[in-house]
Amino acid sequence: MSRREVLAPGGFGNNGAVTDEPLVLGIETSCDETGVGIVRGKTLLADAIASSVDEHVRFGGVVPEVASRAHLEAMVPTVERACAEAGVRLADVDAIAVTSGPGLTGALLVGVAAAKALTLALDRPLYGVNHLAAHVAVDQLEHGPLPQPCVALLVSGGHSSLLLVEDVSAGVHALGSTIDDAAGEAFDKVARLLGFPFPGGPHIDDSARSGDRAYVDFPRGLTSGRDMQRHRFDFSFSGLKTAVARWVEARERDGEPVPVADVAASFQEAVCDILTRKAIDACRTRGVEHLLIGGGVAANSRLRALAEDRAATAGIAVRVPRPELCTDNGAMVAALGAELVARGRAPSELDLAVNSSMSVTTVVA
Amino acid sequence: MLLLAFDTATPAVTAALHDGERVVAAATSVDARRHGELLAPAIATVLRDAGADRRDVTAIAVGVGPGPFTGLRVGLVTARTLAAALGVPVHGVCTLDAIAAAVSEPVELAVATDARRKEVYWARYRRHDASYHRVQGPAVSRPEDLARELTAALPVLGRGALLYADVLTHQPGPLDPDAAVLAEAVVRGEIELLAAEPLYLRRPDVSVPGPRKPAL
């Protein structure tokens, strides 16, 4: 895609002045959260969210059309709430950033169209950014500049990826990703099996606290033999989900009660074991000393604990943003936008298209 | 005054500026799959062609459908966000009304657009006092059901009628809305102003899942 002329490094301020602390408004609508965040450089000023998750509960998953309708209704109120929270006027904003992929096409389109409208109304540059790169960049709001390089483990209901990040404003290298279900998707499916409502992650986490992690030794996909040659940094959670289903059904068939907490703990242990084992392996293989964990599943308490344990043993530092910055939000998009402005990256054109399967190597579309 | 009008509820992405006297700029392209890419550049184009600044805009009018949801929302979220950021009012206009506004005869007609899934969005109109008044609809129907609903051989304007000319009496004329016509009708007060709310007419296509299926 063509770009406007490359801006001088350091970006621009409201009056054309160079600044490395740009005021950036970020919009996120790739799934069911309408997020509008405002940052100044690496400082978080506002993180307004409107979620349609309650509307999806009875369907057992996110319904794209329901999410898209909710984004339209929430957009302007959420922008206004973010401005009020940040104590800024829209006219003060230096640049607009928006998730243009990957995600649900119809949902992305609402955010991108809103971002373009702001671009037109304010005459400010537009950055259509990668959702996954934004999940990485958000950590700068909490823990300061990203270590270069770092390995990022991004795990959510839609994604499970291991990334090598040298410079998040320039590009991200994909080490591996799931070949079937995302980790969060496996949590949702197993939660449903165990009788918990959508989204299932927090319920599994809670239930697992009183369960035995070693009660069932569920399979760890892609962690042995030939799989480790072909898919060393890839994930597979579909087989695990089926294994849990078969185990539970065998119990039910025998007329025995299902030990829900033990199954939840054993399932969660399998997922967290796979994720952390591969993430640490990636750091070691690449000689990287920093591991960043992001995405909704990063809110899982066992994943955090196991990652910190194993990283400490391996001499690797772990960074995990606080849970509300791990789940989808607008602040992460604004954070990446601010980094792009500060680094003088070229903005997107007004004919920016959404890309539901945007490659993680694309930071700005 | 400067009215910015646009519509994205059909394959057309159409935008126009009206200064209260006349349409000063207009841009239309037809591509059913690129509303999100084409609308903002079209708005930038009409502003530039008119030599107008975005801050000169005093009101926005947007087609609220009915129309395919994804494209429809591009227009609505653009209109609402622009209006909020510029601090100007936003008006909705039924897209079918905007298509009817492009013609002046016959006295009675219907307008039909493509609703996909072998259905059409439609409304029925009667002309008096120099403009069309919607007397039925908007609604979504299968074309053969619409043909039964309408009295024999009532002329039907729009892409939906062309698409199903085998069952509907297609009236030659505009197939899609034109923002220039929409803007003119708004300025003359010849079209009903609605809230900037989408006329979806259909619920999301989804069903509540049944009980869990065995994995074995």
Q: What is the pLDDT of residue A61?
A: 85
Rounded CA gap, B191 and B197, in Å?
16
Beta bridge partners of A172: A165
| E strands in chain B | 3-7, 12-18, 23-30, 59-63, 90-93, 108-114, 120-128, 131-141, 155-157, 169-170
Q: Please list every residue in chain B whose beta carbon sits closer than 8 Å to the beta carbon of residue A351.
A: 37-38, 40-41
What's the mean pLDDT in B72-93?
98
Q: Which residue of B has its CA nearest to A351?
A: B37
- Average pLDDT, integer, range A350-357: 97
Q: Which residues of A touch B214 (CB under 8 A)?
A: 249
pLDDT tens, residue by residue, A77-87: 999 999 999 99
In a domain, A121, yes or no: yes
The residue of chain A nearest to residue B47, with distances taken between CA atoms, is A120
In this model, does residue A18 exceed pLDDT 80? Answer: no
Residues A125 and A266 in one domain: no
CA-to-CA distance for B26 and A291, rounded, in angstroms?
A: 53
Order of strands, sheet of A33-40, starting from the edge strand that comes earlier in the sequence = A43-51, A33-40, A23-28, A95-101, A126-130
Model pLDDT, residue A319 = 97
Mean pLDDT computed over every residue of chain B:
95
Q: How many domains does chain A have?
A: 2
Q: What is the DSSP letter of A4?
A: P
- B8 has pLDDT over 70: yes
Find all residues with CB under 8 Å of B156, minimum gap 6, and list them. Answer: B109, B110, B111, B112, B122, B146, B150, B168, B169, B170, B171
Q: Among A120, A198, A349, A354, which would you mutate to test the B interface (most chain B Cβ atoms within 10 Å of its Cβ)?
A: A120
Question: b or e along A288-323 (b: 16 or more beta carbons within 10 Å of the residue's beta carbon)?
Answer: bbbbbbbbbbbbbebbbebbbebbeeeebebbbbee
CA angle (B132 as vertex; B129, B138 as ends), nearest 5:
150
- The predicted-structure confidence for B138-190, as pLDDT tens digits, reads as follows 999 999 999 999 987 899 999 999 999 999 999 999 999 999 999 999 999 99
Q: What would the mean pLDDT of A185-207 be, rounded to a whole number? A: 95
Helices assigned H by DSSP within A91-222:
105-122, 131-137, 139-143, 183-193, 201-208
| Winning range, highest mean pLDDT, from A1-10, A216-225, B36-45 | B36-45
pLDDT in tens, B104-116: 999 999 999 999 9
- Separation of alpha carbons A282 and A309, rounded Å: 16
For A157-166, the pLDDT digits (tens) are: 888 999 999 9
Task: Compute chain B's Rg from CA coordinates.
Answer: 18
User: Are A182 and A85 in the same domain?
Assistant: no
Give the span between the Cα atoms of A220 and A244, in whole angstroms. 12
Q: What is the pTM of this model?
A: 0.93
CATH number of the domain within which A51 lies: 3.30.420.40
* ipTM surpasses 0.90: yes
Residues of chain B found within 8 Å of residue A190, distances taken between Cβ atoms: none
Whole-number pLDDT of residue A225: 83
CA dihedral B197, B201, B204, B209 (to 10 degrees): 140
Of A75, A120, A354, the CB nearest to B40: A120
The pLDDT value given to residue A15: 46
pLDDT digits (tens, 9 = 90+) for A263-285: 999 999 999 999 999 999 999 99
Radius of gyration of chain A (CA): 21
> What value, to the nearest 5°, has the Cα angle with vertex B31 and ends B186 and B147?
70
Examine the domain organization and report whether A227 and A125 are in the same domain. no
Laid out side by side, the sheet with A290-294 consists of A171-177, A160-167, A150-155, A290-294, A317-319
Q: Is residue A362 a part of any domain in this protein?
A: no
Q: Does A7 touch chain B (CB under 8 A)?
A: no
For residue A112, CA distances in Å to A86, A352, B35, B190, B200 come to 22, 8, 11, 33, 21
Question: If you average pLDDT over residues A186-205, what whole number do you get?
Answer: 94
Question: Residue A143: its pLDDT value, please?
Answer: 96
Looking at the fold, whether A132 and A202 belong to one and the same domain comes out as: no
Name the percent of chain A in helix, strand, coil, to the closest 5.
Answer: 45, 20, 35
Residues of chain B in contact with residue A90, where contact means CB-CB under 8 angstroms, are 85
- pLDDT one-digit tens code per residue, A296-337: 999 999 999 999 999 999 999 999 999 999 999 999 999 999
The answer to whether the Cβ–Cβ distance between A350 and B82 falls below 8 Å is no
Full set of structural domains in chain B with CATH: 3-95+177-188 (3.30.420.40), 96-163 (3.30.420.200)
Question: Residue A174: beta bridge partners?
Answer: A163
Task: Classify residue A355: in a domain, yes or no.
Answer: no
Q: Which residue of chain B is at minimal alpha-carbon distance from A348?
A: B37
**CB-based contact B16:B25 (threshold 8 Å):** yes
A317, β-bridge pairs = A290
A243 in contact with B, Cβ within 8 Å: no
Residues A164 and A190 in one domain: yes
For residues A298 and A229, membership in a common domain is answered with yes
The residues in A 327-356 lying below 8 A from B, measured between CB atoms, are 350-354
Q: Are residues A131 and A152 in the same domain?
A: no
Give the one of A68, A120, A352 whose C-beta lies nearest to B73's C-beta. A68
pLDDT greater than 80 at residue A9:
no
* Minimum Cα–Cα distance from B197: chain A residue: A73
Domain match, A266 and A166 both: yes
- Is B215–A58 a contact, with Cβ atoms under 8 angstroms apart? no
Q: Name the average pLDDT for chain A.
A: 93
- Flag whether residue A104 sits within 8 Å of chain B, measured between CB atoms: no
> Do A91 and A172 fall into the same domain?
no
Taking an 8 Å cut-off on Cβ atoms, the answer to whether B86 and A121 are in contact is yes
In a domain, A363, yes or no: no
Q: Do B73 and A110 touch (CB under 8 A)?
A: yes
Tell me, yes or no, whether A151 lies in a domain.
yes
pLDDT of residue A8: 37
Q: How far apart are CA B91 and CA A144, in angstroms?
A: 45
What's the mean pLDDT in B187-207?
93
| Domain span at A107 | 4-138+329-342
Query: What integer pLDDT is reported at residue A19 of this predicted model?
Result: 66
Does residue A333 share a domain with residue A302?
no
Dist. CA B62–CA B128, nearest whole Å: 24
How far apart are alpha carbons B147 and B153 in whole angstroms? 8
The yes-or-no verdict on residue A7 having pLDDT over 50 is no
Q: How far apart are CA A109 and CA B71, in angstroms?
A: 9
Please give, one letter per residue, the 3-state secondary structure of A62-123. Answer: CCHHHHHHHHHHHHHHHHHHHHHHHCCCHHHCCEEEEEEECCCHHHHHHHHHHHHHHHHHHC
Closest-CA residue of B relative to A65 is: B204
The secondary structure of residue A31, as a DSSP letter, is S
Q: How far is A190 from chain B (nearest CA, A)?
A: 11
pLDDT at B209 over 80: no
pLDDT band for position B19 (cuts 50, 70, 90): very high
Comparing alpha-carbon positions, the chain B residue that sits nearest to A353 is B37
Residue A142 has phi, psi (to 5 degrees) of -105, -40
Check whether A10 has a pLDDT greater than 60. no
Chain-chain contact of B198 with A114 (C-beta, under 8 angstroms): no
| Residue A202 and residue A111 share a domain | no
- Please state, in angstroms and rounded to a whole number, the distance separating the CA atoms of residues A156 and A161: 9
Do A164 and A93 lie in a common domain? no
Contact A154, A295 (CB under 8 A): yes
Best of B77, B116, B117, B216 to disrupt the A interface (most A CBs within 10 Å) is B77
SS3 B43: helix
pLDDT tens by residue, B127-152: 998 899 999 999 999 999 999 999 87
Residue A364, domain member (yes or no): no
Whole-number Å distance between alpha carbons of B10 and B66: 9
